[in-house]
Amino acid sequence: MPDPDPSARLRVAVLDDYLDLAMDLAPWSSLHADVTAFREPIRDPELLIQTLLPFDIVCAMRERTPLPATVLERLPNLRLLVTSGMQNAAIDIDAARAAGIVVSGTGSSAAATAELTWALILCAARHVPAHDRSMRDGGWQRYLGTALAGRRLGVIGLGKNGSAVATIGRAFGMDVVAWSQNLTAERAAEVGIGRVAFGELIATSDVITIHLRLSDRTHGLIGASELGRMRPTAILVNTSRGPIVDEVALIRALRSGSIGGAALDVYDDEPLPVDHPLRSLERVVLSPHTGYVTDENMRRFYAQTVEDIAAFLAGTPIRVL
């Protein structure tokens, strides 16, 4: 059977393929489409519009590239938008619907982010990155670590990620407590931990870890006041979204030593600028938003993206947001 007319082939854009793996992790060839993967982020909205203008389908990786109404309404060829995960605060879903664009999502695993959260907690508590640098420079013991058993872990948000992190905290022998706006004592008891007031969690926890969605209610939830009430030895961990923490206030607290440290996987501006002050601070452990970036998750994301596209082309869209 001869190949179809090339002019009839759909054009698919895969955004933010940082690791240059998208084409290897899913059966894109099963689609009657020309697929283009973009490795580098496109930050300028006008350049983004011009780049995406020819494409019928756009595949977004999490919230790496904002797709607000001002962008979507200028993409007349766009018919389907697929995002990894089943929610994406960077996509204006209402604007997409108004423009006749179907938005589909994919599954994801809470385990990956929970595991990275604990990697960051342990690195911060035992100064693993600093010790690694010291060893490579010819040094030996230079930093005093903190044991976690018997200390308090404060979990902000007890959804899938927060619950998984709390369960591991109990296995470490920590006193685990939680808070969120709608958390009930019954829900906390299901996980085997206590529910406390927000102020108590902030003031009494040795490790505070954030597991909330970014929204109007959570934007800036941890600001100068909250940082000022933390224990001077406490560690703040954020694997959720950068803007939940006031970044300027956090940098000030780290510089002054008013908190023990921070471990961060998310930031206000991503990728984190090369000259960003967080990169030069001693009291912080940094990772490049890799909570969900595992082989299993990425294969799931891209394979289900292909499934979403195939279902849309068959006239039966699936996993519609």
pLDDT digits (tens, 9 = 90+) for 30-43: 998 999 999 999 99
Catalytic (active site) residue 241: yes
Catalytic (active site) residue 219: no
pLDDT at position 3 is 43
The one catalytic residue in 152, 289, 300, 307 is: 289
Q: How far apart are CA 177 and CA 198, in angstroms?
A: 10
Low-confidence ranges of the chain (pLDDT < 50): 1-6
Q: Given CATH 3.40.250.10, say whether it is the number of domain 6-109+294-313.
A: no
Q: How far apart are CA 41 and CA 154, in angstroms?
A: 34
> For the segment 230-255, what is each residue's pLDDT rounded down to a tens digit?
999 999 999 999 999 999 999 999 99
Whole-number average pLDDT of the chain: 95
The secondary structure of 12-69 as a DSSP string is EEE---TTS-GGGSS-GGGSSEEEEE--S----HHHHHHHHTT-SEEEE-TTSS-B-H
pLDDT at position 147 is 97
pLDDT at position 32 is 86
| Residue (of 171, 201, 170, 167) closest to 183 by Cα position | 201
Asked whether this chain's domains 6-109+294-313 and 110-286 adopt the same fold, the reply is: yes
The one catalytic residue in 127, 231, 241, 300 is: 241
Is the whole model's pTM more than 0.85, yes or no? yes
β-pair partners for 82: 59, 104
The one catalytic residue in 73, 115, 200, 270 is: 270
Domain ranges of the chain: 6-109+294-313, 110-286
In Å, how far are 15, 70, 301 from 60, measured between CA atoms? 5, 17, 10
Element (H, E) at 224: helix 224-229
Q: What CATH number has the domain spanning 110-286?
A: 3.40.50.720
Catalytic (active site) residue 186: no
The helix/strand/coil state of 111 is helix
